[in-house]
Structure formats: structure tokens, C-alpha cells
Amino acid sequence: MTSGATTRAWRPTTPDPVVRTRLRANVLGLGSSVTIGVASAAPAYSLAAVLAVLAGAVGLHAPATLLLAFIPMVCTAAAYNAFDRVAPDAGSVFEWLWRTVGPRSGWIAGWALIVANVVVMASLGEIAGRYTFLLTGWNTAAQSVGAVTVAGLAWIAVVTAICYVGIHVSARAQRGLLSLELCALALFSVVALARVLSGHAGAHAATPHLAWFSPSGIGGHGALPDGVLAALFIFWGWDTTATVAEETRDAGPTSGRAALLSTVILLAVFLLVVTAAQAFDGSAALAAHPADALSALATGVLGNPLGKLVVLAVLTSAIASAQTSVLPAARTVMAMAHAGAAPPALGRIHPRHQTPHLATLAVGVAGATLFATLSLSSRAVLSDSIAALGLIIAFYYGLVAFACPVYFRRQLLRSPPNLLTLGIVPLIGAGGLGWVFVRTAINLSHPASSATHTAPLGIGLPLLLAAGLFLLGLLLLGLTAWRSPSFPAVWSAEVAAAPVAAPSTQ
């Protein structure tokens, strides 16, 4: 699995009988890595899902809320950047937490990453299936659970096959899909703003104002926290850059920079589209379309048939993000298998494609199975599963941010830049995500948070689902430690005492 001496030095020196070859090295440049990071966040799909929530919570201050949500994200990206520079590894979260805290912490962090990507794959399958029919105007099929399920499963199969064939094919597919998505969003935004400035926008159009970017005017109890929670997780996904680090040229610096650049690009895209959307017809019009405010505005902004471009953007966004959900989950499974924390066969790498083919198939099958089960039984439970992702994402992002100053603790006081980039900035990210974790848990505990309108034990179903997934992870961890005693044992005194390296450049 490892691609060079840097990662070998990071890893415990234990025999690994399942490795047949390595991942394909030096395939991705900075541009391809950034493309994967941005596409993983599914900008169009994320905006379609969160615009109404943002507008309902904070009104015209949605841009300010995005800026606030960006702070813990970019601080966490700085922690990823630091780890990437000394330990570019396909196992990323699993490997870093294992190395910093211990094997059990690494296992739980890896489990959280895998679960988050498998659950979101189910949601993306539903979106991709439905928008395939909406794009063609076949509205009857778009409302059919069976038709949407079949189309969604077909898309999951396609993206899994692309990931199976190779990272170079995945990168090419991402470039094409993301280009379509960003072009459509840019056209929508530019036309919307032009119509606002020319006086040909909606009845409640508003000229963009600097006050929109200030949180000081947000009123209402809980409005700002709820808005930040809604905004924060549309940034999620850029960390895929870390899991493809071993396949990236000049792996450490490139993947670290890609993480930071991805968050900045996502912020720019989100600010542009949100500003244009609320300027065109006001925040109330956005809040009135909770299912998909972006597509609801598309026809008004672009007319027919150009309005379909936004539908196409959401579709390509869902497909691209589904593909980039398979990538990190499969590589994390592979890393865990190499460490004895998962069945050894899942660590095998295809001799020709140089991909973790069995892990890729396992993740694809898991996502497809979850999607089919929930789609055919209860879409509401699928919605509650997506709501539970907030806790899971905040958990593993926060762990990485916290682990950064712990790992580099001997380097912190050697220079002011070290203290800032390796200590203070990651701790700001960890603190922000810790607040998000607590706030999300409180929100999800209310019965009203459940799309199923059920609250077993008087607790909202999304919180129970998140707790259940964490509990399942702990049970599997116990089973792993029992069946593979070598897994926790490899975190030996030799590994724990290994010298702490500082990033080569800050």
C-alpha cells in the first residue's frame, strides 16, 4: 500500500502478507487532487439541500453564516495539511489517530469516516436516480420509488466500477463532472446578479449588501447556531484529498495544499451562489422550497431550457460525490486491513489497476444495499440517517484537529509559526467542531428532528441512529481485538517512542 520511504517510516514495521503491489503512485497533480476535494463536497447538491434551511434560519445573512462555518473547516484543513506533510497515507484519519493516540482511537475514527461515506452514498444514490428523470422531464418516474431506486443503484454501480478501474480514470471523470457542475452554477449566479442589477429579477429581489456578510444583524434565539450547523457540513468532503495522497505527485505537500485550497474554493463557490440566489428573489422565496431551493429558482433565472442546466448540475454533483465517497472509504478499509483491523483480503491491491479492488467493491455493495433497503422501506429513515451524519463528521474531523498539536507537541515551542500552524489553529478547529458536536446532539435529541415523526425513548431518531452507529463501531472494535490480537499489539513501545517529525515547510 505504501508508496515511499516517508510512509514506511511512519508505519509500524510489521510483516504484511496481503500486499501484492502498491497503489499507483504519481498519478494526481495538485489540480486533480483539488478537483477530487471540491467534487467530494458536492457543491450543487449541497447548496440545493441547504439553501432553504439557511434562509429560514438567518435570512439574508447566509453569506455571513458561511464565513463563520468556514473557520473550523479551514482550521481542520490546516491540521490535515500538517499530517499530510509528514505522513501522506491512504489511511489518513485511521493512521494518524492510531499513531497519535492509539489503535482503538484510530479504529473508531476510521469507522466514522467509512460510515459517513457509506450513508451519504445512499442519499446521493437517491438524488442521482431522481434527478436523472427530472433532467429528461420524466416526472412520473421521478416520483416512483422503484424507478428512482433502480436508477440510483445503476449510478452507484457505475461510480464503483470507475473507482475499481483506477485513480486515473476517477480523476478524469471528476474533472468532467465538476466542470459541468461549476459552469452551471457560475452561469446561474452571473445571470441572477445581472438581472438583479438591471431590475429584472423576482418580486422580492434585493441588491447585494455588505451587511449580508456580517453576523451582527442575525436575530432570533438560536438562529445563528442553527445557521452555522446547516452551513458547516456543506463543506464536508474535502478530506478525500488525504486518502488519495499516496497516488499524488510530491504526496505530502501536494495533498496538504489541496486540502486547504479545496476549502477556500468551496467557500468562494458557496458565497457566490448563495448571494446570487437570495438577491434574485429574497430569502423568503428560498425558505419556501425546502426540498430544493436552487432548482426552484433555476427557471426564473435562466428560463427554459437553460433552467435544466441547474438540474444537470445537481445530478453531476451527486454522481461525482458518490464516486468520491467510494474513494476514501475504500482506502480507509484497505489501511485497516493492512493493520490487522479488518479482514486481510480487503487490503489486497489489484495487480493491474493498482486499486484496493476488494475494498472498493465492499464499499460499493454496502452503499447500494443501504440505499436499496432504506429507499424501498422508508425514505424518512434515510433522511434521519443523513441528519445523523453531522455528529459523525464533527467527531472524526474534530479528532484529527485535536490530534495535530498532540502529535507535534515537541515542535510547538520551537518557533512562532509552529505554535500557530501546529497548535493554535488546529485547536480552534477542534474547539469549533466540539461545539458543533454538542449543539448537533442537542438538536437531534428533540423528537421534532426526526423525519419519521417517531422518538423512541423520547429521543429524536437521528440521535439514536448516530449513537447506534457509534455503538456498532465499538462492538466491531471489540470483535476485531478479539479475532486479531496483533492489531492493538502493533502499537508497541517502539512505535509510541518514535521521533516526532515537523512538516518540512509551513
Residue 448: predicted pLDDT: 82
Q: What is the pLDDT of residues 314-344, one digit of tens each?
A: 999 999 999 999 999 999 999 998 888 888 8
DSSP 421: I
What band does 5 get if pLDDT is binned at 50, 70 and 90?
very low
Position 426 pLDDT exceeds 70:
yes
Reduce the DSSP state of residue 28 to 3 states and report it. strand
pLDDT above 50: residue 223 = yes
* Domains in the chain, number: 1
Confidence category of residue 277, pLDDT binned at 50, 70, 90: very high
Name the least confident of 83-87, 93-97, 293-297, 359-363: 293-297
The residue-averaged pLDDT of 255-263 equals 94
Q: Is residue 410 part of a domain?
A: yes
Name every residue whose Cβ is closer than 8 Å to that of residue 140 and which is 6 or more positions away in sequence: none
> What per-residue confidence (pLDDT) applies to 501?
57
Percent of the chain with pLDDT over 90: 54
Residue 351 lies in a domain: yes
Grid coordinates standing for 95? 493512521
Can you tell me whether residue 174 is helix, strand or coil?
Answer: helix
Residue 10: per-residue pLDDT:
41
pLDDT tens readout for residues 130-164: 999 998 889 899 999 999 999 999 999 999 999 99
What is residue 504's predicted lDDT score, i.e. its pLDDT?
A: 53
Residue 208: the pLDDT is: 93
Tell me the C-alpha distance between 93 and 403, whole Å: 10
506 domain residue, yes or no: no
Least confident of 26-35, 36-45, 197-206: 197-206
| Low-confidence winner among 181-190, 374-383, 461-470, 496-505 (lowest mean pLDDT) | 496-505
> How far is residue 98's CA from residue 110's CA, in Å, rounded to a whole number?
9
- Sign, CA dihedral 159-162-167-170, equals negative
Mean of pLDDT values over 164-178: 89
Binned at pLDDT 50, 70 and 90, residue 194 comes out as very high
* Main-chain phi, psi angles of 304, to 5 degrees: -100, 140
112 pLDDT band, cuts 50/70/90, is very high
Environment class of 274 (CB within 10 Å of its CB; exposed 0-12, middle 13-18, buried 19+): buried
Residue 25, burial from CB neighbour count under 10 angstroms (0-12, 13-18, 19+):
middle
Q: What is the DSSP string of 68-137?
A: HHHHHHHHHHHHHHHHHHH---TTHHHHHHHHHT-HHHHHHHHHHHHHHHHHHHHHHHHHHHHHHHHHHT
201: in domain: yes
Q: Is residue 505 part of a domain?
A: no
Does residue 59 form part of some domain? yes
Cell of 137: 422531464
State mean pLDDT over 88-111: 89
**435 occurs within a structural domain:** yes
Which amino acid is present at 447? Answer: P
List Cβ neighbours of 2 (8 Å cut-off, separation of 6 or more). Answer: 8, 11, 22, 89, 246
**What local confidence, expressed as pLDDT, does residue 13 receive?**
37
Q: Exposed e or buried b for every residue in 341-378, given b needs 16+ CB within 10 A?
A: bbbeebbbbbeebbbbbbbbbbbbebbbebbbebbeee
In a domain, 285, yes or no: yes
172: pLDDT strictly greater than 70: yes
Higher pLDDT, residue 205 or 273: 273
CATH number of domain containing 411: 1.20.1740.10
- Per-residue model confidence as pLDDT tens digits over 438-494: 988 998 888 887 877 777 778 888 899 999 999 999 999 988 888 776 666 555 433
Average pLDDT over residues 88-107: 88
Q: Which of 68, 45, 32, 75 is nearest to 273 (CA)?
A: 45
Q: DSSP per residue over 434-480, as a string?
A: HHHHHHHHHHHHSGGG-TT---GGGS-HHHHHHHHHHHHHHHHHHHH
With contact defined as beta carbons under 8 Å apart, do 16 and 494 qualify? no
Owning domain of residue 479: 5-496
pTM: 0.89
C-alpha cell at 250: 510530491
Q: In this predicted structure, what is the pLDDT of residue 4?
A: 37
Residue 2 has pLDDT above 50, yes or no: no
Over 50: is that where the pLDDT of 39 sits? Answer: yes
Mean pLDDT of the chain: 86
Give the closest residue to 113 by CA, choosing from 91, 128, 98: 91
